[in-house]
Homo-oligomer: A and B are copies of this chain.
Amino acid sequence: MTQPSDKALVPFVSVDNMMRLIHHVGVEDMMRDLADYIEADFKRWELFDKTPRVASHSDVGVIELMPTSDGEAYGFKYVNGHPKNTSEGLQTVTAFGLLADVYTGYPVLLTEMTILTALRTAATSAMVAKHLAPKGADTMAMIGNGAQSEFQTLAMKAIIGLKAVRLYDKDPAATEKCAQNLAGLGIDVTICKTPEEAIEGAQILTTCTADKQYATILTDNMVGSGVHINAIGGDCPGKTELAPGILNRSDVFVEYPPQTRVEGEIQQMPEDFAVTELWEVISGHKPGRTGDRQITLFDSVGFAIEDFSALRYIRDRIKGTDYFVDLDMLADPDDPRDLFGMVQRAKA
């Protein structure tokens, strides 16, 4: 059998190779690089083909495709969300992604994205904090110490120079896990017994809890003036973390309003609740933080363009490395009209 042409082979980054790549680059450097790619794509936001995710819901979860394109590359992420999985020893969220060349339609990268999504989510939060958090912010309250907590902390360290994190989770085992994972990584870690204790002296308040319900992780009176709130956990219909009063006192910044109004903290608010699109701040069209007493709030839900940026980064970064294998995924007959002949000749 003749070998398939180069273009018929799709580079694939496995979970194992993604972890090797992370250690090769360094997790903080990689999140810094990812933040640069994400920031660059926010600056050219208007170029992108934007569509809300295509979701298939069932009683126990959701499977989503998140496609986007900048006209040169096309990317999509497959991601599921199944809260009940944890109790069965499975992941709540798994993901993989694909990048393709718009000119030929040929895929150019297939990659695991469970780990990559954790990195891009944290890199996005830190890149946004760079624009919105008070100058010199060096202490973060990390409320919810699950899978995203260490990535959030290290991204803030790498990108805005965070020095200290104050951990709280209703499950002390989660906090213990997070503290152990962060030990020796150059960040001052304080274990807190209450959310109130966690936010003491913090200029950045990050909420990232897992309960799928309208929860109140931060009450109105806990939030003082001048802070930046990085709200990660309220990210699907029926799941929020902040008291509405906080939203009323804050300037709220979002990725893509049609998606955030359904999935984010602002699903609690009227449809015309005022928000600022982040790309407008990042590209210099609108102001971000305008005063010392202002509360800025990033209502993060995660958008396809951030995955696209991450896919672009991986495509660029694996060139010349051995952190991928080539998959024989695309049929490539010598004569495009002779697909049957190719199949028949393979019999020999």
Residues of A bordering B, CB below 8 Å: 1, 4-5, 7-8, 12, 14-16, 18-20, 22-23, 27, 49, 51, 54, 56, 58, 60-63, 65, 67, 69, 71, 74, 76, 78, 80-82, 85-86, 88-92, 94, 96, 98, 100, 102-107, 112, 114-115, 118, 145-147, 149-151, 174, 177, 180-181, 327-333, 335-344, 346-347
Complex Cα gap A330–B92 (Å): 12
State the main secondary structure of chain A at its contact with B: mixed
Complex Cα gap A62–B67 (Å): 13
- Verify B96–A147 contact, CB threshold 8 A: no
Among B19, B82, B106, contact of A90 (Cβ-Cβ < 8 Å): B106
Among B15, B149, B181, contact of A344 (Cβ-Cβ < 8 Å): B181
B residues in contact with A60, CB < 8 Å? 102-103
**Known contacts A15-B4, A23-B346, A71-B58; A90 and B336 CB within 8 A of each other:** yes
- Verify B54–A65 contact, CB threshold 8 A: yes
Complex Cα gap A112–B330 (Å): 6
- Verify B91–A330 contact, CB threshold 8 A: yes
**Known contacts A112-B330, A151-B340, A336-B91; A56 and B67 CB within 8 A of each other:** yes
- Verify A82–B105 contact, CB threshold 8 A: yes
Closest 7 CB pairs of A and B: A80-B105, A114-B331, A150-B340, A19-B346, A14-B328, A147-B339, A146-B337
Complex Cα gap A340–B100 (Å): 29
- Verify A67–B54 contact, CB threshold 8 A: yes
- Verify B107–A96 contact, CB threshold 8 A: yes
